[in-house]
Structure 1
Amino acid sequence: MKTSIHGAFALLLSCLTLPACAAVELSPGAERVIVTKQPAPQGCRFLGTVIGEQGGSLSGAFTSNANLQEGAVNDMKNKAHGLGGNYVVLENTNAGTTISGDRGNISGQQTDVTHMGNAYSCPPQLVGL
């Protein structure tokens, strides 16, 4: 039992000191990428599908739901920006939960978020940039 408590404490401590528990940061320029459920305006060019994700079974347990969500959006914006995009139509969102325990004592916790969207390059005036 001591080993698992020490292991959990070590993971928590490393998570608090490493960026694994913080939201994925935006790359320079990616803050201008618009993420919406609205279809891309006519005149935009489709670039590809982008998937943004944050979390996992280890670090996700020590990451706030807000940071999981924000990090997944930021990851998607970074990827769209890397393709030359400035507009993403959000198509799907999944939140994963890790469940643990034994009979009669089961618990679950959100540990990851994944967003999938379609990236476009749009004339800035069409999307309000």
Structure 2
Amino acid sequence: MKKFKLSVGLLFIAILSGCAAKPIIEGAEKVELTTERPDRAHCEYLGEVVGSQGNWVTGDFTSNEDLIIGARNELKNKAFQLGANVVYVEGMANTNAWGSLGTTNTTAIGKAFKCEY
């Protein structure tokens, strides 16, 4: 019975930890997200980046705001790791798992650039 209670407790903690927005790594907060394609004369294209938050288990327990912030934070983190300082956000999508109460995942897709201004 002790093992069962411990397992249920650990599962509950895991679900709750999945409900907070993904953290942003140090330095990535300086990455700018934009909906306008950067000027190629001043920017070098580094690659495509994808950020996502939520899944069929934690999505119903995560606020829509945290789903969006988590996806954006992951987008910035990946761009920063490429050496980018600007991300041209091409799109964001919300999905719902079958039987869910609402949005369970948010995904952001963008192109990472290193710009000199």
* TM norm. shorter chain > 0.5: yes
Residues 99 and 109, structure 1, Cα contact 8 Å, conserved in 2: no
TM-score for both structures, normalised by structure 2: 0.85
Deviations 1:53-76 (A, max 9, x none): 000000111100000000000000
**Paired residue type of 1:84:** G
Cα separation, 2, equivalents of 1:45 and 1:52: 20
Deviation at 1:108, TM superposition (A): 3.8
Q: Based on CA coordinates, which of the two structures has the bigger radius of gyration?
A: 1
Q: Going by fraction, where is strand more abundant, 1 or 2?
A: 1
For residues 54 and 62 of structure 1, do their structure 2 counterparts lie closer, same or farther at Cα, with a shift above 3 Å needed? Answer: same
Residues 71 and 108, structure 2, Cα contact 8 Å, conserved in 1: yes
**Count of matched residue positions in the alignment of Structure 1 and Structure 2:** 108
| Consecutive unaligned residues in structure 2, runs of 5 or more | 1-7
Secondary structure of the residue that 2:77 maps to in structure 1? helix
Correspondence 1:38-53 to 2 at 5 A: 38-41=36-39, 42-53=41-52
Residues 60 and 101, structure 2, Cα contact 8 Å, conserved in 1: no
Query: In the alignment, what sits opposite 1:69?
Result: 68
For residues 57 and 67 of structure 1, do their structure 2 counterparts lie closer, same or farther at Cα, with a shift above 3 Å needed? Answer: same
For residues 56 and 11 of structure 1, do their structure 2 counterparts lie closer, same or farther at Cα, with a shift above 3 Å needed? Answer: farther
Identity, in percent, stands at: 39
Correspondence 1:20-59 to 2 at 5 A: 20-41=18-39, 42-59=41-58
Deviations 1:94-120 (A, max 9, x none): 1001232xxxxxx64100000000000
Deviation at 1:31, TM superposition (A): 0.3
**Paired residue type of 1:122:** C
**Paired residue type of 1:59:** T
Query: In the alignment, what sits opposite 2:3?
Result: none
For residues 81 and 99 of structure 1, do their structure 2 counterparts lie closer, same or farther at Cα, with a shift above 3 Å needed? Answer: same
Deviation at 1:43, TM superposition (A): 1.3
**Paired residue type of 2:52:** E
For residues 89 and 60 of structure 1, do their structure 2 counterparts lie closer, same or farther at Cα, with a shift above 3 Å needed? Answer: same
Alignment of 1:117 with 2:116, yes or no, is no
User: After TM superposition, what 4+ stretches of structure 1 lie above 3 angstroms from structure 2?
Assistant: 9-13
Aligned Cα root-mean-square deviation (Å):
1.8
Deviation at 1:12, TM superposition (A): 8.1
